[in-house]
Amino acid sequence: MMLKNPASKYAAFQPVRLSDRAWPDAQITQAPIWLSTDLRDGNQALIEPMDGARKLQMFQALVKIGFKEIEVGFPSASQTEFDFVRKLIEEDLIPEDVTIQVLTQAREHLIERTFESLQGAKRAIVHLYNACAPIMRRVVLGMDEDGIVALATSQARMFQDLAARQPGTQWTFQYSPEMFSGTELAFSKRVVDAVTEVWQPTPERKCIINLPSTVEHSTPNIFADMIEWMHRNLARRDAIVLSVHPHNDRGTGTAAAEFAVMAGADRLEGCLFGNGERTGNLDIVNVALNLYTQGVPPQLDFSEIDEIRRVVEHCNQLPVHPRHPYVGDLVYTSFSGSHQDAIKKVFSARKEGDIWNVPYLPIDPKDLGRTYEAVIRVNSQSGKGGISYLLESEFGLELPRRLQIEFSQVVQGVMDAEGKELTAHDLWTLFEKEYGLHDVAAPQHRLTEQRGAGETTEVELLADLVFAGQPVQIQGRGTGPIDAFVDGLQQATGRSVRVMDYHEHAIGAGANAKAVAYLELRVDDGRTLFGVGIDANIVSASLKAIVSGLQRGTRAEDNAPAELDAATAR
C-alpha cells in the first residue's frame, strides 16, 4: 500500500553545493568515447544470459556499428564468460581498432582469473570495481571508509603486478567506485584519488575512472553537478578518461548521460536500446541519435537500425518496445489527423537539401533504413490529410482537396462501424468501391470535330456505355468531349449532370501510364459529388468519371453508401 507520508520511508536526495556550475551552458559538439557493455552489464541482466554463439553475434554487431571499446564479459563469473574471452583472443576476432574490456570485483582470486582470461590479448581494458556507498560499506562489505580505500588500493596494486607479468598486452586500467550515485562526493574522490595514486596514470597513458549511477537516485541535474564536481576536483584529472555509467531507474538515464558529458565526462558506458538491470543501462542508441539530430556525427552507424534491433532481440531474447526512441515500430507513425496533415504539407513543401524540420518527426526515418510507409497510418483519429497521403504515396492518387474531404467522410463511416486501423491497401479498396472504379466500363466513343457558329469548333460524340446495368447509346454535342458526353447522357437517360470542377493527372510512367480524372458534378440539380475515372486514355478517364459520379448520385438516393465488406476490413 502506498504511504500517505512517503517521507516517513524515503529520504529526498540532497543537492550538490556547486554555485558556479558551468554545465548548464555547455553544448555537446562531438561524440563521447562509447563503451558498449551489452555483453557484460546487459548480459548479467538477462533471464538467460547469452551463450557463446549469441555473444559472438552481439560482438560482431557491435563492431559493425563502430564501437571501439566493448566490455565483453565478467570472465571470472562462469566458464562461458571465460571461454568467450579466450575465443575472441585465440581466434583473432578482435579488429585492430577495437579494444575489449572485462570486469572483475576487487577480490584476489577473481582478479587472477580475469588476467588469465586475457593472456595473449594485444590490448585490453581491465575494469575493477568495489562498492563505496555507506549502506554497502556498513551492511554488505562490513568495512569503514579506510577499509574500502585499503581494498581498492590493494587490488589496484594487484592489477599492476598481474599486468606486469603479461607484458605483451597493452593494458588500460579502469576503476569504478560502484554506487557512486549514492556515495558522498568527498569519499568518492578519496577512493578514486587513492587508486590513481597507485596506478600513476599520465596524459600519455591514461586510466579510466568510471562513475556509475549504479542506481539512479536523483534528477539528472544533480548527477551532472556530481560529475562536474569530480571533474574539477579529482587529482591527476589530465591523466584520466572520465567515464560515466548511468542506469535508468528514474527514466532519466539519457538526460543524465547528456548532462554528464556537458559537465566534463569524456566517455559513456551503456547498452543498445537500454538493456540492462532493472530499468536498464543508458541507451547508447538514444544518446547517439540525439547527437545526430543536432548535427553532431555520433561515430556509430545505425543506418540499418531494424537489422540491429533484430540481432539485439535475438541475443537478449527480449523484445524492444514499439515506442522505444528511434527504433520502435510505432515511433515514426502518426495516427492523429492534425499531425498527418502537417507532415503531408511539410513533405510536399520540403526541398532536397533543406535542413530537416518536419513536424512530429525529429529524424528522417530513411537515415535509419526505414521507409516513409509507416509514417502515416489511418484509424478513427485520422483525417483527410493522412488518408490522402497514403493514397498518394502508395497508389499515386493526388486527390483534389474537396474530394479528400468527401472521401474522408466515407472512411470515417467505415471507421465508426469497424473501429480498426485501415491500411493503405484497405483505403484503396474502399476508394475503388466507392467510386465504382471496377463497375464503370470505359464508354466506347467516337469523336468528330465540327465547325460551329463563327470561329468556334464543336465536337460530336457517339458513345456506347453501360449505365445502371443497361446498355445505352448516346449522341451529344458540345465544346469538348466532356460537354458532348454530358449532353448525350442527358438526352439518353434524362439525367442532368453539370461539371463543377475538373482535375486530372497521370499515374505511372511509360507504357503503363494511366490518366486519372476527378470530376466534381452536380447531379440532377441536387447534391454535388465527385466521380473518378482511371484509364489509359484521358478522354475515357473523364467519361468514366462522369458515369462514376452519376452512379454514386443514384446510389445516394437509394441511401446505400459503399460499405467495406468483411474481406476488405480484415
Ligand X SMILES: CC(C)C(=O)C(=O)O
DSSP string, 175-208: EEEETGGGS-HHHHHHHHHHHHHHH---SSS-EE
Binding site for Mg ion (CB under 5 A): 41
Residue 41 touches ligand X, criterion: CB under 6 A: yes
Strand spans (E) along 94-219 = 99-105, 123-131, 170-178, 207-213
The pattern of x and - marking residues 514 through 543 that bind ligand X according to CB under 6 A reads: ------------------------------
- Of the pair 274, 298, the CB lying nearest ligand ACO is at 274
Q: Report d(CA 102, CA 170) in Å as an integer.
A: 14
Minimum CB distance to ligand X, residue 214 (Å):
3
Between 149 and 529, whose beta carbon lies closer to ligand ACO?
Answer: 149
Residue 26 binding target from Mg ion, ligand ACO, ligand X, none, CB below 5 to 8 Å by type: none
Minimal distance, residue 101 CB to Mg ion, in Å: 13
**Alpha-carbon span 163 to 176, nearest angstrom:** 18
Strand order in the sheet with 470-478: 444-451, 457-467, 470-478
Nearer to ligand X, 129 or 518 (CB): 129
Strands (E), 59-119: 69-73, 99-105
Instruction: Give, as ranges, the residues between 191 and 210 that touch ligand X (CB under 6 A).
Output: 210
Output the nine-digit C-alpha cell for 141.
Answer: 562489505
Number of H helices, E strands in the chain: 17, 14
Q: Is 281 annotated as a binding residue?
A: yes
**Between residues 39 and 519, which has the closer beta carbon with respect to ligand X?**
39
User: Least CB distance from residue 115 to Mg ion, whole Å?
Assistant: 22
Q: Is 487 annotated as a binding residue?
A: no
Q: Which is nearer to ligand X, 216 or 228 (CB)?
A: 216
Could you tell me the three cell numbers for 129? 570495481
The gap from C-alpha 507 to its chain's centroid, in whole angstroms, comes to 31
- Is 247 within any annotated ligand binding site? yes
Rounded to whole angstroms, the Cα distance separating 118 from 239 reads 24
Helical spans, DSSP H, in 272-383 = 284-292, 305-316, 337-349
Shortest CB 247 distance to ligand X, Å = 6
Residue 276 · residue 68 · CB < 8 Å: no
Pairwise CA distance, residues 531 & 552, whole Å: 8
Which one of ligand ACO, ligand X, Mg ion, none interacts with residue 252, CB within 5 to 8 A by kind?
none
Q: Which residues bind ligand ACO (CB under 6 A)?
A: 41, 44, 74, 76-77, 105-107, 110, 129-131, 140-141, 178, 214
Among 81, 178, 341, 392, indicate the residue that binds ligand X (CB under 6 A).
178
481 binds, among Mg ion, ligand ACO, ligand X, none (CB under 5 to 8 A by kind): none
User: Quick check: 71 and 103 in contact, CB under 8 A?
Assistant: yes
Return the exposure string of 506-521: e unless at least 16 CB atoms fall within 10 Å of the residue's CB, then b: eeeeeeeeebbbbbbb
Residue 210 touches which of ligand X, ligand ACO, Mg ion, none (Cβ within 5-8 Å per kind): ligand X
Question: Is-contact 78 41, C-beta < 8 A?
Answer: no
Is 76 a binding residue for ligand X by CB under 6 A? The answer is: no
50: phi then psi, degrees, rounded to nearest 5 = -65, 145
To the question of whether residue 445 is assigned a binding role by annotation, the answer is no
Site string for ligand X, 105-134 (x = CB under 6 A): ------------------------x-----
Nearer to ligand ACO, 183 or 568 (CB): 183
Q: Which residues carry a binding-site annotation?
A: 41, 245, 247, 281
Q: Which residues carry a binding-site annotation for Mg(2+)?
A: 41, 245, 247, 281
